Amino acid sequence: MTSPSTNSINPTAPLAAIVLCAGQGTRMKSTLPKVAHPLLGRAMGSYPLERAFEAGAERVVAVTGHGASQVEAALLRALPSRAPHIEFALQAEQLGTAHAVLCAQSALADFKGDVFILYGDVPLVRAETLRALIDAKTAAQSPIALVTTLPADPTGYGRIVRDEQGAMRRIVEHRDASPGELAIGEINAGLYLVSASFLWSSLARLDRNNAQNELYLTDLVRLAFEADTPAATVVADVGEVSGVNDRVELARATRALQNRINERHQRAGVTIELSDTVLIDESVEIAPDVTIEANVRLKGDTRIGRGAHIGQGSVISDSTVGEAVEVRPYSIFEEAIVGEAALIGPFARLRPGSELAARVHVGNFVETKKARVGLGSKANHLSYLGDCDIGAGVNVGAGTITCNYDGVNKHRTVLGDGVFVGSDSQFVAPVNVGKDAYIGAGSTITEDVPEGSLAIGRGRQVVKVGYRPEPKPKSRG
């Protein structure tokens, strides 16, 4: 969550972050750069950025390379409120992690403080772990702290080499490691907190004397040891610091994030019937005593009020649902506002600009769009209500349609308070119906109806008494 209060911790030094987002992610087999792939509704790469802000970073530099403009757009879209504090640095060629960090140097030229270095494809890292890095670095009075972990299989990772006292001597990359070093189980997760002054002065001293002929960011650890200020470490769970490299791992990360988010809501008083099947974006806010049935999806900027009940299979995006609202199964909301104790669905579709007041009923197979509906009004069956202002206490009969589109422009239908609309009526907008008016069933209303009157606009019924059709000629053969 992007609550500003999470920034109010009091770190000893100002904080910034560099998030490495330049890699292509070949194993995703995608034209979309890896960190732009959505993870519960927003770019995977945005999660480490958000965690850095939550841990107190004032500014974040994302280093982009492959698909830079797509990645930049995806990150800004994911974190609109953080956008003023996000900068981008281009790494045109991916020459390793140290080179990537160097690409961010000019953006942070005037920054004095501590810098987080994070990976855009390690989305599950928690702000608590980043705060633990601050504490560990402060306690050790070291210029660098980093996250390590103990995976089941350390193949491919940099190994943590400690001395007899347990101080971190250096990190040895897999390809440079001796057989003895390959047996080390503790690995470098690749997440750091480094003093800016130490970072830039050390990077300037690195060479490419290694198996990959690369500048190794991990050499900072050796430099810290040689300066008698060995790196501090925080040990994290493997799951939290695992990178996402392909779509199997993306699905695993989605599930892990889903569990984390759903458990947070459950502990805060939300009943989630079958948690495995419910996907809630991190940005969604849910009050206590809400019940969420199976297969529900809550997305984006959505807020659910106390005591609301969200029926099975409903998908609610960027919407505000009031207290004690009942959403019956399989209803779809997009940019809608629903007042308290409203009753929606089953199978209702609220499209953008639907603003329903308290105690409104919108029933099965009713679609609303740019529709303001007043207190307690009801449209219970099979209607299209688009571009309309419906007053309070209105009864909209089954099968009512607002004909809002003339082929070029959209027009509004206005129904005053207390209007009664008979079933199967059409309003050819623009049209106004005064309050307490009646519309006869089956009417096509093309002209305004004054307050308190009855309008009927339909073909008259004709009855032919004693009518017998001509007998049909008998078919032959």
For position 23 contacting ligand UD1 by CB under 6 A, the verdict is yes
Q: Do the strands 168-172 and 279-280 form a parallel or antiparallel pair, or are they unpaired?
A: unpaired
Q: Which of 151, 224, 149, 248 is nearest to 190 (CA)?
A: 149
Part in contact with ligand UD1 (CB under 6 A); list of ranges 36-44, 94-102, 106-114, 465-473 = 94-102
Rounded to the nearest 5 degrees, what angle is found at the Cα of 1, between the Cα atoms of 313 and 101?
120
Using the rule CB under 6 A, is 220 a contact of ligand UD1?
no
Which residue, 9 or 248, has its beta carbon nearer to ligand UD1?
A: 248
Based on the shown chain and the rule CB under 6 A, indicate whether residue 129 belongs to the binding site for ligand UD1: no
Check if the beta carbon of residue 167 is closer than 8 Å to that of residue 161: no
Any contact of residue 123 with ligand UD1 (CB under 6 A)? no
Residue from the set 119, 198, 384, 438 that interacts with ligand UD1 by CB under 6 A: 119
Stretch that binds ligand UD1, among 48-56, 105-113, 182-190, 260-268 (CB under 6 A): 182-190
Question: 259: which residues sit within 8 A by CB, 6+ positions away?
Answer: 275
Cα-only R_g, the chain: 31
Binding mask 140-179 for ligand UD1 (x = CB under 6 A): -----------------xx------------x-x------
- Closer to ligand UD1 at the Cβ: 116 or 427? 116
Residue 240 binding ligand UD1, by CB under 6 A: no
Stretch that binds ligand UD1, among 216-224, 343-351, 364-372, 438-446 (CB under 6 A): 216-224
Among 37, 89, 91, 296, binds ligand UD1 (CB under 6 A): 91
Cα dist from 285 to 127, 235, 312, whole Å: 19, 31, 19
**Residue 4 class from Cβ within 10 Å (0-12 exposed, 13-18 middle, 19+ buried)?**
exposed
Q: How many residues of this chain bind ligand UD1 (CB under 6 A)?
A: 26
CA nearest neighbour of 43 among 211, 209, 218, 244: 244
Residue 409 burial (CB < 10 Å; 0-12/13-18/19+)? exposed
The yes or no reply on residue 95 touching ligand UD1 (CB under 6 A) is yes
Q: Which residue of the set 85, 174, 309, 381 is catalytic?
A: 381
**218 touches ligand UD1 (CB under 6 A):** yes
Query: How far, CA to CA in Å, does 334 sit from each of 66, 251, 314, 351, 474?
Result: 33, 25, 11, 5, 59
Q: Contact between 243 and ligand UD1 (CB under 6 A)? A: yes
CB of 157 to ligand UD1, least distance (A): 4
Part in contact with ligand UD1 (CB under 6 A); list of ranges 7-15, 74-82, 141-149, 212-220: 212-220
22 is an interface residue for ligand UD1 by CB under 6 A: yes
Give the C-alpha distances (Å, rounded to integers) separating 71 from 21, 23, 287, 314, 394: 8, 11, 33, 30, 48
Pick 26 or 81: Cβ nearer ligand UD1: 26
Binding test (CB under 6 A) with ligand UD1, winner from 67, 123, 190, 397: 190
* Contact present, 90 and 102 (Cβ < 8 Å): no
**Best CA proximity match to 284, nearest among 302, 262, 271:** 302
Shortest Å distance, C-beta 189 to ligand UD1: 6
Closest CB to ligand UD1 among 249 and 318? 249
Nearer to ligand UD1, 48 or 313 (CB): 48
Among positive and negative, which fits the CA dihedral 7, 8, 9, 14? positive
Site for ligand UD1 contains 382 (CB under 6 A) = no
The nearer residue to ligand UD1, 154 or 305, going by C-beta atoms, is 154
Distance of CA 433 to the CA centre of its chain: 41
Q: Which residue has the tokens 């070291």?
A: 142
Peptide bond into 346 cis (omega under 30): yes
| Choice from 188, 320, 383, 443 touching ligand UD1 (CB under 6 A) | 188
Q: In three state form, how does the secondary structure of 402-426 look? A: EECECCCCECCEEECCCCEECCCCE
Name the one range near ligand UD1 by CB under 6 A: 3-11, 74-82, 186-194, 352-360: 186-194
Among 75, 89, 117, 217, binds ligand UD1 (CB under 6 A): 217
* Annotated catalytic residue 381: yes
Question: Which residues are the active-site residues?
Answer: 381
**Interface with ligand UD1 (CB under 6 A):** 20, 22-23, 63, 91, 94-97, 99-100, 119-121, 157-158, 171, 173, 187-190, 216-218, 243
